[in-house]
Structures are given as C-alpha cells and as structure tokens.
Chain A
C-alpha cells in the first residue's frame, strides 16, 4: 500500500509591515498544524550603509551608523567610536566612558521594556503591553532630558561624549530607577505566575545549550539557554571595566527563560546606573583626535540589548574608512528561529519570532495558507496573532 502523496503547505509571513521596525519575510512549511520547515528572506530595508560608509569621513559615518537601528542607536555609535579610537591610539576620558555606559544601560532598559510590551501584545495580553510601554516612557523621558532626543541620542563624538549629567538630573534618574525597579518586580511576578501567560511561554521554543552554541546565537536568547556569552563580561569595553556587570543566565532555554533573563537584566541595569551616578568622577569629556586615522584593521564588539554587536573597521590612513562591516545581533538569532520553529504549532510562531526580540516590523504582514484542495487562505499578521490567541483560549 502506498502512502498518499503529501503536498507541502507553505505559509509565507511578511514582508510588509508598516507599524514596527523592520520588514522580514518568513516561509513556514506546515504539515497540518505543525511547522516542518522554516526559511527567512531579509533585505527589504537594505540601505547599503556599509557601502555608504566608504565615501564618508569618520565623523559622518558615526552619525550614519547610529541610524542603522531606531532602538539601539547608541550601541552602534559606541562600537564604531571605540574601534576608531583604538585605531587612532587614543582613549576617551574616564568620565566619558562612564557616560557611554550610562546611556547604553538606559537604552537597554527602554529596549527591554519595548520588547516586553510587544511580546505581551503578541500573546494577546494587551494590558501588560500598555503597562510596559507606559513605564518605558519614564526612561524615554530621561534619555530626552539627557540628550535632547528620544531615539538618536548622539551621545558619542570621536574621542569622548558630548553630554554631561549634573546633580539635579542624577537625582531624577535615581528616583526613576527606584520606580522602574518596583515595576519590574511586578512584571516578574506576572510572567512567572500568570497561568494564561505561562501557557504561551513555558516549554515553548526550547533551545538547548548545545544547539544554541552550534547556531552561534547571542544575547539574552543564548543566555536563556545557559551559555555564558555577554561581551560586557567576556571582554569588558569602555566603562564596563570600571563598572562590571553580572552575567544573567537561565538553564531552561524556553520562552519563559528569555522573559526571565531580560527582566533580570533590567535589575542589573538599574544597579549599574545608580552605581555610575554615585561614583562618577568630574573630569574632561573629550580627547582630541586627528581627522586622519592611521592605517590598520580593528574589531570592536559591544553588547547591544539584543546581543553581541560586531564591527570590523579597516582604515587606509585617510579621513575615510576603507571598509566598515557590521554584524547585528538579530542576524545570528534568526538562525535559532529557523531551527526551533520545526515541530511547533503555527499558533506559536508569533511568540517564537518575538522571543528573540528581532528588529522586525510585523503588524499587518500577509499570511497565505496554501493548500491544493482549498482556495488559498490569506491572513495578515493580525490574523495570525488572533489565530494564536484563539488557539490557546
């Protein structure tokens, strides 16, 4: 007796999605409800920034690179600036390095809160989404007071920083950190005790330690699987030498662990921010740097909210770099989705995708359920999200 021929159903998700950040296209092959294969197609917002860097000088590049990401803009500029400073053989003053860390940790807080909100929304938990984004405004306000901008803070200049914290601002930030700590306590309680929420996260998308290492995943995604990989700890840069952070890991590797790791990282951020504000020494903010950067190659790695951010800069001795290569953390984490998705239900896909905190834009993306016997069934991202929520109701 021969098996009936089984057709593959491919569910494309994406690429269009105007509401959030970045469009991406995924194709999930399904057998009934279970995903059997997954593929990714990127590049819908490819702007050729690496190429553009080769015709601009180092200062212009710093501002250009900051615009790679609308969430973690500061880490991009920091990675680039640290690399260029290494090539030029100069060191930013200690106060500047501390302020860089301060901005980086504030950015991490706002990024993790943003993610918490998005993840809660995809799970159909809109109250948590509203709460998280309301609290995120606290840190956005701090960033605006600090730098004058909510998104592209432009804290860095080559050789230092251009903003400073005074006594008044420092008191305000400390008070806000206490408030956010209290809120995080509450969110921690929700994500670890709420039954409906746990139903969507516990035991879902489990990534084993071995797989995570093989796939080269980074950031909270890999730390939730128990791999000790955090550039701030493994290879302290900038102010992290003076203000060390503790690495947060979890052993289970499922979606719940990723929630826990990110929330615990928030506590660490509050602690480090308060420590910096306590201990920061008065001093210079900028070291002079020549416009022409000596010939050489440098690798600069920093820990962005989503994981390791990698910069390779090659200088040819002029004012313009020969080559700038950027590898963002989301790129290595896509691989984990393609791996983990297999064997899961289609209804779990929104949460799985959100689990790695990708820079992707995803509210109204087209989903087409193809089948030979039926007419194509077209869903948008909202439809898929509702499908997921209904499935678990």
Chain B
C-alpha cells in the first residue's frame, strides 16, 4: 500500500474524533483531539492494528503575558503520541493546562507505553491517570517533587539546589 493510502486508512478510523488536523509532511498526519476522546482514539488505533506506538513526546507551552505582565494564555502541556505504520506517521496531540495536566494512561491498551509515560511524568509533570508504575525512570531518586526539568522555566540546576535546601525546614 502507498503511504498516502495508509495515512488515509488511519484518518478514516479516527474520523469522528478529529477536532482539527494538519499534514506537515506528506507522510504525516497530526490530529488534535479533546482530552475526553483521547482514550477511545488510541483504542481504535490499537483495535484496527494501525501501526505501533513509537514514543510519547512532551511539549511545554509556557504561559503568554501581555505588556502589563497579565497572563493572556495560561501555561499548557502538550503530549504527542506518535504512531507509525511503515512510512506513515499519525501523531495524536492532546493539550492539558498546567493546573490539571491529567491524561488517561494507555498502558492497558499498549503495555510498552509505560516507559514513555514514566518519562513524561517526571520530565514534564504530566499526571497520567491509572498508569501502573510511577517510579523514577531517568531522574535520581532524591530529585525534589514538583521540579520538572524539561519545562521551559527550568533553566539551571540552581533551582534544584534551592529546592533541596528548603526541604529540611518543611
């Protein structure tokens, strides 16, 4: 099957949940879905055997401020679930606010996703509901709670030192 046909077949499977979509490259399809629809989307990809999960990419979208330092857009996290089928890649994208970064875990559908979920939990601060394992994957066990190194606000280890120093007082 041609790449475009594979992509098209994927689009048909997901048709009813698509909020918006784009085709950044000819072998790619990016699909934005709402947080409620996210789990059914993944489920239908798995049930239709459309490719495999490559990985989960986390993106930090920092808050935007106007000239008077008033927040015009609150900070968000975006999770990109990349699925590949031969040359075709479908990326399922979900956006969640800093205040409630909750996404349903997909480990019951794709067991191997646990390693990627653990990665975005500790590096970005996503809250994956019902994920089987939240142990530290890449950061040290002594890493302070609530410090997420891949967020844009984390710029140097100074931040980390301050947080660690504060701990005895708590």
* A residues in contact (CB < 8 Å) with B: 40-43, 46, 48, 50-51, 86, 213-216, 234-235, 296-299, 301, 308, 310, 312, 314, 323, 325, 327, 331-332, 334-335, 339
- Total of A-B residue pairs, C-beta within 8 Å: 74
Q: Does B95 contact A (CB under 8 A)?
A: no
Q: Is the CB of A214 within 8 A of B110?
A: yes
Known contacts A43-B138, A298-B24, A327-B116; 7 additional CB pairs below 8 A are A40-B115, A41-B137, A214-B110, A216-B110, A301-B54, A312-B57, A331-B55
Out of A50, A213, A325, A335, which one reaches B111, CB within 8 Å? A335
Q: Mark B139-157, 1 if CB is under 8 A from A, else 0.
A: 1100000000110001000
Residue among B3, B24, B54 with most chain A CB within 10 A: B54
Least distance between B19 CB and chain A CB atoms (Å): 18
Least distance between A62 CB and chain B CB atoms (Å): 20
Least distance between A61 CB and chain B CB atoms (Å): 16
CA distance A308 to B28 in the complex (A): 17
Q: Is the CB of B138 within 8 A of A234?
A: no
Q: Is the CB of B24 within 8 A of A43?
A: no
B135: chain A residues within 8 A (beta carbon): 41
A48-B149, A297-B24 given as contacts; is B112 within 8 A of A215 (CB)? yes
A42-B137, A297-B24 given as contacts; is B150 within 8 A of A50 (CB)? yes
A42: chain B residues within 8 A (beta carbon): 137-138
Out of B59, B112, B140, which one reaches A332, CB within 8 Å? B112
Least distance between A48 CB and chain B CB atoms (Å): 7
A301: chain B residues within 8 A (beta carbon): 54, 84
A299-B28, A334-B115 given as contacts; is B55 within 8 A of A314 (CB)? no
Out of A41, A46, A299, A335, which one reaches B112, CB within 8 Å? A335
Q: Does B35 contact A (CB under 8 A)?
A: no
Q: Is the CB of B87 within 8 A of A234?
A: yes
Report B78-126 residues with CB < 8 Å from chain A CB: 80, 82, 84, 86-87, 89, 91, 110-112, 115-116
CA distance A314 to B93 in the complex (A): 14
Q: Is the CB of A235 within 8 A of B55?
A: no
In the complex, the chain A residue whose C-beta lies closest to that of B133 is: A39
CA distance A339 to B111 in the complex (A): 10
Least distance between B139 CB and chain A CB atoms (Å): 6
Q: Is the CB of A234 within 8 A of B86?
A: yes
B139: chain A residues within 8 A (beta carbon): 43, 46
In the complex, the chain A residue whose C-beta lies closest to that of B46 is: A214
CA distance A194 to B84 in the complex (A): 39
Q: Is the CB of A51 within 8 A of B55?
A: no
CA distance A314 to B150 in the complex (A): 14
B59: chain A residues within 8 A (beta carbon): 314, 323
Q: Does B52 contact A (CB under 8 A)?
A: yes
Q: Does B27 contact A (CB under 8 A)?
A: yes
In the complex, the chain A residue whose C-beta lies closest to that of B122 is: A43
B137: chain A residues within 8 A (beta carbon): 41-43
CA distance A214 to B53 in the complex (A): 9
Q: Is the CB of A335 within 8 A of B87?
A: no
Q: Is the CB of B54 within 8 A of A51?
A: no
In the complex, the chain A residue whose C-beta lies closest to that of B60 is: A323
Q: Is the CB of B57 within 8 A of A331?
A: no
Least distance between B121 CB and chain A CB atoms (Å): 13
Least distance between B97 CB and chain A CB atoms (Å): 19
B138: chain A residues within 8 A (beta carbon): 42-43, 46
Q: Does B2 contact A (CB under 8 A)?
A: no
Q: Is the CB of A331 within 8 A of B82?
A: no
Q: Is the CB of B111 within 8 A of A308?
A: no
Q: Is the CB of B52 within 8 A of A213?
A: yes
A51-B150, A299-B89 given as contacts; is B25 within 8 A of A310 (CB)? no
In the complex, the chain A residue whose C-beta lies closest to that of B140 is: A43
Least distance between B17 CB and chain A CB atoms (Å): 21
Q: Is the CB of A298 within 8 A of B25?
A: yes
In the complex, the chain B residue whose C-beta lies closest to that of A213 is: B52
A334: chain B residues within 8 A (beta carbon): 115
B57: chain A residues within 8 A (beta carbon): 312, 323, 325
Q: Is the CB of B54 within 8 A of A331?
A: no
A332: chain B residues within 8 A (beta carbon): 55, 112, 115
Q: Is the CB of B54 within 8 A of A308?
A: yes
CA distance A24 to B18 in the complex (A): 40
Q: Is the CB of B24 within 8 A of A296?
A: yes
CA distance A51 to B150 in the complex (A): 6
Q: Is the CB of B86 within 8 A of A235?
A: yes
Least distance between A152 CB and chain B CB atoms (Å): 23
CA distance A214 to B110 in the complex (A): 7
